[in-house]
Amino acid sequence: MRILFSSLGLHGHTYPLLPLAIAAREVGHDVSYFTGAAFANALTSNGIEHVVGGMDLREAFEIANGGGLVGRPQDADPDRIAAAFTSVLPRNFAAELAPVIADLKPDLVVHELGNPGAGFAAKVAGVPGLCHSFGRMWQADEFASTARGHLLEVAADLGVEIPEDDIMGLGNPYIDICPPSVQDPTFLATARNRIPLRPVPFAEPGELPAWVVEHREPLVYLTLGTAFGETGVLRTAIDGLAAVDVKVLVAAGPTVDAGALGELPDNVVVLPWVPQADLLPHVDLVVHHGGSGTTMGTFGAGVPQLILPQGADQFGNAAVVTEAGLGRQLVGADVAAAAGPTQGRRPLAPAAVQGAARAIAAEVAAMPSPHDVARTLPDYA
């Protein structure tokens, strides 16, 4: 069977789909993937045909902003964010994918939740579609209200119908990588056709420093992800963690210049990038921004979390982690307080949190694997 996957050209939207795409190829399906050029190596090195396309998110923000430049993603106006994700990008992906679908003639299109444009292209072409999650179902009322209007307008312009209660998923069966115990209970109760899938962290091949595997003192991993990195927030977190008798490994990411962090404490190592999927099983605490990829990957690794949310769905993820007893969050001025001796000397989790983290890891391990789900994909074609 020929399957076309598509996601926005963002790590947090592409990496969650790659385990299923790779598994689909390994069980014998003919797999192509439509997304940005940045993911060429991740796809082709795993034997997946890469079809390059799709508008860059910054360009979409600028169009939604009336042609003006935008600053940090977390500072963008919510209405402009909604317009970018639910009007500009869907129209672009629907238009660019139309000739790709006509040429490849896929039997099934798998689009991620943030890329309804690919789902629209499939509907216009009469090809069955599946919607693949990238984390917990996001119920953001302010965003959803504006997004609903945009997506219904796009659907009308393309001549397709979508259910008003499933505007992002377009009414397609939903591949859900979120463990049920932390999924939105309303969504679980109302989902039409939910396909559980184990969240498997993906990382491009890389080598961990030898000391990571051999470390004796507790190891803390600190990252603010690929889109929301802030030098000031990262430095504040480093200062707080450095006051503790631990080793700290920091992934600066593409938005932070490691050199701008200044002189580092002896127990802190900053790298521009780490193979996160390989690193997580070796750490004792993950301090991060609350991005869905890191949150889900940490669930699977059974590691406690300390979340410093910056924007988008990160505040929701932080709240869920806290409510489930899997860690805690620090927001705003509280992040600065973490550098103080009281907060800073207690970063590692108590026994109850460690037990909750082990329990959700067991829940993740029991979910259907990518290969399990890949074998069922012909049922949806």
What ranges do the domains of the chain cover? 2-197+367-380, 210-349
376: three-class secondary structure by DSSP: helix
**Quick one: average pLDDT of 154-167?**
90
Is the pLDDT reported for residue 182 higher than 80? yes
With 90 as the cut, is the pLDDT of residue 125 above it?
A: yes
Q: Name, of 99-113, 145-159, 276-290, the range with top average pLDDT.
A: 99-113
CA distance 56 to 94: 14
Output the pLDDT for position 239: 78
Q: What is the mean pLDDT of residues 64-87?
A: 70
Q: Choose from 77-86, 224-233, 317-326, 345-354 the range with maximum mean pLDDT.
A: 317-326
Check whether 347 has a pLDDT greater than 60. no
| pLDDT over 90 at 325, yes or no | yes
| Of 35-49, 66-80, 91-105, 331-345, minimum mean pLDDT range | 331-345
Task: Quote the pLDDT of residue 146.
Answer: 78
Q: What is the pLDDT of residues 185-223, one digit of tens each?
A: 989 998 889 999 999 999 888 888 888 988 888 899 998
Residue 279 has pLDDT above 60, yes or no: yes
Residue 268 pLDDT: 87
Enter the pTM of the model: 0.90
Reported as a pLDDT band with limits 50, 70 and 90, residue 96 is: very high
DSSP string, 264-332: --TTEEEES---HHHHGGG-SEEEE---HHHHHHHHHHT--EEE---STTHHHHHHHHHHTTSEEE--T
Judge if 2-197+367-380 and 210-349 fold alike in CATH terms: yes
Report residue 254's pLDDT band, with 50, 70 and 90 as the boundaries: low
With 50 as the cut, is the pLDDT of residue 39 above it?
yes
Rounded Cα gap, residues 307 and 349, in angstroms: 13
**What top-level class would CATH report for the domain 2-197+367-380?**
alpha beta
In CATH, which superfamily holds the domain spanning 210-349? Glycogen Phosphorylase B; (3.40.50.2000)
Burial class (CB in 10 A: 0-12, 13-18, 19+), 267: middle
Q: Specify the pLDDT at position 343.
A: 41
More confident residue, 16 or 81: 16
Residue 302 half-sphere exposure, CB side, CA atoms within 13 Å?
13
Other Cβ atoms within 10 Å of 58 Cβ, number: 12
pLDDT for 89 equals: 96
Cβ-contact 286, 307 below 8 angstroms? no
pLDDT, position 332: 58
Closest alpha carbon to 133 in 116, 154, 153, 108:
116
Instruction: Look at residue 183 in the predicted model and tell me its pLDDT.
Output: 95
